[in-house]
Structure 1
Amino acid sequence: MPEALPLHGRLVRLEPMSPAHAPGLLRAASEDRSTYGYTYVPADVAAIDRYIEKAQLDAQSHLAVTYTVIRARDGQIAGTSLWGSKNHRCWSGGVRGVAGMMRG
Structure 2
Amino acid sequence: MKVVIKQPNEDMEVKDITVNLKNLQGIVDGYIEGVYLGVKMAYKNIFAYGDDEAKLKDKEPNFWLHNKRDVFCGTAIFTKENGFGEEIDLTDDDIKLIKEFLKENKI
TM-score, normalized by length of structure 1?
0.31
Q: Which has the higher strand share?
A: 2
TM-score, normalized by length of structure 2?
0.30
